[in-house]
Structure 1
């Protein structure tokens, strides 16, 4: 009789475990839906206007040039400190960002991290140009782990990116930080001026997964195809 009771207890524990697991899944889904619902909506801060920790994701070549042009009109005191990240194989973008920060050094009058408003970091790429999709599975996993560590370390309140594949792991991890309640951030994606009729893969993913709080396009045709995007005209 004791063995049957023990077996029955084990059997009865399965519905309990299932209920706990189901409750956890429902809670996670509810939290994700909550974050998606509030993504893109203005947030009211009870602490007043304070500098925002800003993550700036650099591509290479034209992406970096476009990003630096965009940053030229950025309120440096409001978006401070600034964390620049580029792919580990990109040897030029961070150098250009450092030169840019040196050129505006006299303008750095903000509070908080005012003595060191700019930080420069590198990240592993998910996929290099020409790399096979099979081998990119492993590099993508490494990139996501690295991106998770970087975003947890930076805990950005604002993420600005404009197209490089490097931005996807960082945006996904920033979104996850919102889901788990560690840091709420706003993701702003500016599609490259070279994209006239079709979004880049990064833009396509961030738009359809609804991770970007605002997605800007520079050509009216893209706005007609993607109604939630914001048409801002040519930025260069």
Structure 2
């Protein structure tokens, strides 16, 4: 139950009865191609059935992650896969990535307003930034408090990723997997290697 342990470590618990669908916590997960998918799937292996259904969000050009999610969830609880435009392509210029991120936010807002998740769990892809901003807007508008839980990739040993630097400021819970990052970022929570 690694995800629940992460949340319990920071004092956030969601009481849920598996028999009462209205009380089930809604979990939104941002998944991206490659190592990010592997890491989030490792975190998901331990997620309680109380987090049902799970709503995955992937970039509209990402077929590989969709296949992995379907294989992972095959014998598990109900899930959905939602798509939004990618926030930033590899080697995309900074100036044009602002425009593409705003476009992704345009798709993220109605998605989060419809799903109203209790938690957004993400681990590094830029696609999670507009999702987290949309989640924060739900809270600002008084519609629902969405807990933003960010787990920095295990590959980040000395510095945070660009997504990590952004979500360090916006997340409720920010986990790192190396002591060196915890020492540099006081808000970061270190519980050892998580994936």
Counting matched residue pairs gives 181
**Corresponding residue for residue 4 of structure 2:** none
**Corresponding residue for residue 74 of structure 1:** 47
**Corresponding residue for residue 7 of structure 2:** none
**Corresponding residue for residue 14 of structure 1:** none
Cα separation, partners in 2 of 1:144 and 1:218, compared to 1, 3 Å? same
- Distance in 2 (alpha carbons) for counterparts of 1:204 and 1:141: 18
**Corresponding residue for residue 154 of structure 2:** 193
- Distance in 1 (alpha carbons) for counterparts of 2:60 and 2:191: 31
Matched, 1:234 2:193: yes
Per-residue Cα deviation, 1:169-216 (whole angstroms, up to 9, x for no partner): 000110010010111111111110000011111111111x2x211111
* Structure 2 unaligned spans of 5+: 1-9, 18-22
Cα separation, partners in 2 of 1:228 and 1:136, compared to 1, 3 Å? closer
Q: CA deviation at 1:43?
A: 7.3
Instruction: Choose the corresponding residue for 2:177, options 203, 211, 218.
Output: 218
**Corresponding residue for residue 69 of structure 2:** 97
Find the structure with the greater CA-based Rg: 1
* Structure 1 unaligned spans of 5+: 1-39, 109-116
Q: CA deviation at 1:221?
A: 0.6
Instruction: Choose the corresponding residue for 1:150, options 95, 108, 111.
Output: 111
Q: CA deviation at 1:140?
A: 2.1
- Distance in 1 (alpha carbons) for counterparts of 2:186 and 2:98: 32
- The structure carrying a bigger helix percent of its residues is 1
Q: 8 Å contact 1:85–1:94 — kept in the other structure? A: no
- Distance in 2 (alpha carbons) for counterparts of 1:82 and 1:42: 18
Matched, 1:55 2:16: no
**Corresponding residue for residue 87 of structure 1:** 59
Per-residue Cα deviation, 1:83-129 (whole angstroms, up to 9, x for no partner): 00111111111110111000x33xx4xxxxxxxx2001111012111
Cα separation, partners in 2 of 1:44 and 1:98, compared to 1, 3 Å? closer
- Distance in 1 (alpha carbons) for counterparts of 2:152 and 2:192: 11
- Distance in 1 (alpha carbons) for counterparts of 2:11 and 2:135: 16
4+ long deviations beyond 6 Å: none
**Corresponding residue for residue 95 of structure 2:** 134
- Distance in 2 (alpha carbons) for counterparts of 1:91 and 1:43: 33
TM-score by length of 2: 0.86
